[in-house]
Copies of this chain bind each other. A is one copy, B any other.
Amino acid sequence: MSDSGKEITIYDIAEKLKVSAATVSRALKDHPRVNKNTKKKIIKAAEEMGYRSNSFASNLRRKNSNIIGVIVPRLNSSFMSDVIAGIEKVVNDNNYNLIISQSLETMKKEISNARAMLNNRVDGLLVSLAYDTTSIEHFEPFIKRNIPVLFFDRIFEHEQYPQIYIDNFKAAYEVTKHLLEQGCKRIVHITGNQLRNVYAERLRGYKKALEEHQIDFDGQLVIINDLSAKEAAVAAETILQMDPLPDGIFTVNDVSAVSCIQVLKKAGIKIPEQIAVAGFNNDPAACVIEPNLTTVNYKGYEMGEVAANMLINHLANRQDLQQTHSLILRSELIVRESSKRK
């Protein structure tokens, strides 16, 4: 009680109860080949003595860790924190533990995070790629060791890696189509690094919709930045200088859309009458900005749950990951005031 140095082990319990450590070990994990009374006594003693199993010893011996690793670009975005919350829920319910690290959008850090995950012998890895990741070599050691790596949202098309995402092409197509149907002719598209599937696909969808409406694609109308509020404000200033002014804006995240709307409104532009705006993600702010933001709903929490479930089912041999190589989640266009022109 007063002492802090001594950790209770199964040997201590064994000694006290005059049984072997093997029996203690079995009793504590409810092995059938242990007498009920013995079991009861052991569990009681363990409780009383304040025994806590040492996962290192256990993991070392069993050669698995019950740890799921997660590498994401950033933890503090509305979407990503929802994803993480969903993952944590599932992981915890299944008696796994969660190790989390963020790449801060750089490949360099992503690589070092991956190394750490390997050292920690994660049983499986969930990854959403950094902004500038150009290759996924750093995940090969996992494959080599048969440790499943699952990409979500920001994926990398590759046979070996199962993936979960939404149909970004279709979602962006629908957003753009909607804007066109509202009468927009010149739609600015604000997007991110085209290395990332999510942004490349959305640009494809944007183009496709234009094409179908016989509108020529104009590269001048595509703005690529880091998708921060700050850069979006800069983009909005650029937009204000355009002549003629565009009549629609489609940004690939809500943070940018909100930031744009604020700048445009301040400049006296009427949304949606002069410029209709649509975002992506359905962040909480989408329902706060005035006019409320048209966006794509795309629930992070669910994506997290699904990703974690897939991984854990696979680890428990309940499901083969190769069978379901790609899982595409539902997303939906939510039309709000920022784009409704009637």
By a beta-carbon cutoff of 8 Å, the part of chain A in contact with chain B is 1, 4-5, 7, 50, 52-57, 59-60, 65, 74-78, 80-82, 84-85, 88-89, 92, 97-102, 104, 113, 115-116, 118-121, 141, 144-146, 255, 258, 262, 284-285, 287-290, 300-301
Contact = CB atoms under 8 A, between A and B. Distances in A.
7 contacts: A54-B119, A56-B56, A56-B59, A75-B81, A76-B81, A76-B82, A288-B289
Contacts of A88: 75, 100-102
Given A76-B85, A119-B53, A97 B99 contact: yes
Nearest to A144: B4
Q: Max chain B CB contacts within 10 Å: which of A74, A75, A113, A145?
A: A75
A77 B301 CA distance: 12
A81 to B, nearest CB: 4
A127 to B, nearest CB: 15
A22 to B, nearest CB: 19
Contact of A52 (B104, B113, B141): B141
Contacts of A121: 54-56
B118 A52 contact: yes
A255 to B, nearest CB: 8
Contacts of A60: 54, 56-57, 60
A119 to B, nearest CB: 5
Given A52-B115, A56-B56, A99-B99, 10 more contacts: A5-B146, A52-B118, A54-B60, A56-B60, A60-B60, A74-B85, A75-B85, A88-B100, A258-B288, A288-B289
Nearest to A75: B85
A55 B85 contact: no
A257 to B, nearest CB: 11
Contacts of A102: 85, 88-89, 92
A337 to B, nearest CB: 13
B101 A101 contact: no
A16 B257 CA distance: 59
Given A98-B101, A100-B100, A288-B285, A120 B55 contact: yes
A137 to B, nearest CB: 13
A286 B78 CA distance: 15
A301 B285 CA distance: 20
A128 B165 CA distance: 32
Nearest to A62: B56
Contacts of A77: 81
Given A99-B99, A284-B285, A145 B7 contact: yes
Nearest to A265: B290
